[in-house]
Amino acid sequence: MNTPIKGFSKLTKEEKIQWLAKTCFTDEKEGIATLKMYWNDDEALQRLHDEFIENTISNYYLPFAIAPNFSINGKLINIPMAIEESSVVAAASRSAKFWLDRGGFKAKVIDTQKIGQVHFIYNGDKQKLSDFFNSIKPLFFEATEPITKNMQKRGGGILDIELRDKTAEMPNYYQLHATFETVDSMGANFINSCLEQFAKTLKEEAMTYNDFTTSEREIQVVMSILSNYVPQCVVRAEVSCPVEQLNEDKGISGQAFAEKFVLAVRIAEIEKHRAVTHNKGIMNGIDAVVLATGNDFRAVEAGVHAYAAKDGMYRSLTHAEINDGIFKFWIEVPLALGTVGGLTSLHPLVKLALEILGRPSARELMQIVAVAGLAQNFAALRSLTTTGIQEGHMKMHLKNILNQLKATDGEREKIISHFKDNTVSHSAVVEMLHNLREEKATS
């Protein structure tokens, strides 16, 4: 068993790698070479990446791709995506093209409020706490002025602060529940700084509040933190067209396709096993854009899935209907995103991704990301309800299989051409490669 190491973070990068190689690598030389293969020659750029996190020893690459031709509210947008899954960008591009000819995507932001909470314990008279809160409420705003000044100039700030009684769920548990507008920044640091100041003000003011008894003055702040559940930071995106326009090359009428599609969405609205996979497909699109634009995909994931379960049962984030011969398909999704601050001004590819998108505001980015999710879901359901998912998926995965099998350029060309009209499977590719190599050996 490995022995624990003390002071790892204090070692130089080279020392960390040497230690790791000795401790974990089967082939030390090869392992070290792999790590260094991903270093950037530009030292300043490498330092920038090293300093994003602690204990950096290399860079972890993901493909950065473009899904072009998205028409969103009449504007043509090329969407950058960072993702490893073979079929995602191809699927997004196909959806973009499909809807480009049918009126494009429409998107609108419903609201942009973010939430933060100070969780605290107060053992005393409820009415006194409520009176105390109301008497000191203006102080929360005053004490945070140095933090909120700049945000206010940009049109944001603290929207409201409420006292919430949570004692039905846990004895003596209360919250300061605050709402924020953070305009173009994701706002995590801003919100957390405000919350920590609220907590300080709460404790300090309680200590000198005349109506409190000595024990009531002892408010215990448990923690102050933003919430990644943002059901009031929501965007809606939709597509619609007459059902007959859905009739394309899938050997099924527009009406039949629309009806089957609506059924598929309905199943994801009422059945949680399907809902999770359905929403996973949506997140293929959402995460890829969130990541490419330097936003916090873990926060988005957590918030989105909580939203999908907001009525107590996990459900589809998208919905579909046919009304008067019009097929409509839409998504409503919470997205707390930023286009300033954080990685957006640090990571060169993130800056470029935002440039590709035309330097969007956070509201515009919310719309783009929601569209990417809807487009991805449309592509998945379109395949699932017609040809099945594997046909397209395996076609895209073919190159990964060829790389795994270390196929030469000549072999790749022959195999890719063969599988244009044949079903791709791992074993079929292995067999063809084997046959090609045998043929070569005997010729």
List, by residue number, the catalytic residues: 85, 280, 296, 393
Judging by beta carbons within 10 Å of its beta carbon (0-12, 13-18, 19+), is residue 192 exposed, middle or buried?
Answer: middle
Q: Are 113 and 191 spatial neighbours (Cβ–Cβ below 8 Å)?
A: no
Considering the complex, what minimum distance in angstroms separates the CB of residue 423 from ligand MEV?
18
Considering the complex, what minimum distance in angstroms separates the CB of residue 80 from ligand MEV?
19
Number of residues that bind ligand MEV (CB under 6 A): 9
Looking only at residues 130 through 159 of this chain, which bind ligand MEV when binding is defined by CB under 6 A?
Answer: none
CA atoms in the 13 A half-sphere facing the CB of 122: 30
CA atoms in the 13 A half-sphere facing the CB of 130: 6
Residue with token string 């700030």? 157
Residue 190 vs 330, nearer CB to ligand MEV: 330
Among positions 116, 156, 281, 285, the unique one binding ligand MEV when judged by CB under 6 A? 281
Residue 316 vs 339, nearer CB to ligand MEV: 316
Q: Is residue 284 at the binding interface for ligand MEV, with CB under 6 A as the rule?
A: yes
Binding mask 220-249 for ligand MEV (x = CB under 6 A): ------------------------------
Q: Which amino acid is at 276?
A: V
Residue 201 vs 284, nearer CB to ligand MEV: 284
Looking only at residues 260 through 279 of this chain, which bind ligand MEV when binding is defined by CB under 6 A?
Answer: 277-278
Dihedral angle sign, alpha carbons of residues 306, 343, 361, 180: positive
Integer CA distances (angstroms), 95 to 178, 240, 265, 298, in order: 39, 13, 17, 25
Beta strands in 151-291 (DSSP E): 157-165, 173-181, 220-227, 234-242
Judging by beta carbons within 10 Å of its beta carbon (0-12, 13-18, 19+), is residue 330 exposed, middle or buried?
Answer: buried
* Token duo for residue 300: 């988005």
Q: Where are the alpha helices (DSSP H) in 208-340?
A: 214-217, 254-270, 272-292, 297-308
Residue 156 vs 281, nearer CB to ligand MEV: 281
Considering the complex, what minimum distance in angstroms separates the CB of residue 281 from ligand MEV?
3
* Token duo for residue 324: 């008067």
Q: Is residue 389 at the binding interface for ligand MEV, with CB under 6 A as the rule?
A: yes
Residue 191 vs 380, nearer CB to ligand MEV: 380
Q: Residue with CB nearest ligand MEV?
A: 281
Residue 118 vs 292, nearer CB to ligand MEV: 292
Letter string b/e over residues 144-182, b meaning 16 or more CB atoms within 10 A of that residue's CB: beebbeebeeeebbbeebebeeeeeeeeebbbbbbbbbb
Q: Are 301 and 334 spatial neighbours (Cβ–Cβ below 8 Å)?
A: no
Considering the complex, what minimum distance in angstroms separates the CB of residue 283 from ligand MEV?
9
Considering the complex, what minimum distance in angstroms separates the CB of residue 279 from ligand MEV?
8
Q: Is residue 85 at the binding interface for ligand MEV, with CB under 6 A as the rule?
A: yes
Residue 305 vs 351, nearer CB to ligand MEV: 305
Q: Are 110 and 332 spatial neighbours (Cβ–Cβ below 8 Å)?
A: yes
Q: Is residue 392 at the binding interface for ligand MEV, with CB under 6 A as the rule?
A: no
Residue 216 vs 271, nearer CB to ligand MEV: 271
Judging by beta carbons within 10 Å of its beta carbon (0-12, 13-18, 19+), is residue 413 exposed, middle or buried?
Answer: exposed
CA dist., res. 96 & res. 144, Å (int): 45
Among positions 226, 265, 350, 380, the unique one binding ligand MEV when judged by CB under 6 A? 380
Adjacent-strand bridge partners of 225: 117
Considering the complex, what minimum distance in angstroms separates the CB of residue 377 from ligand MEV?
6
Considering the complex, what minimum distance in angstroms separates the CB of residue 277 from ligand MEV?
4
Considering the complex, what minimum distance in angstroms separates the CB of residue 85 from ligand MEV?
6
- Give the list of residues 6+ apart from residue 188 with CB closer than 8 angstroms, or none: 226, 296, 299, 342
Residues lying near ligand MEV in the complex (CB under 6 A): 85, 277-278, 280-281, 284, 380, 384, 389
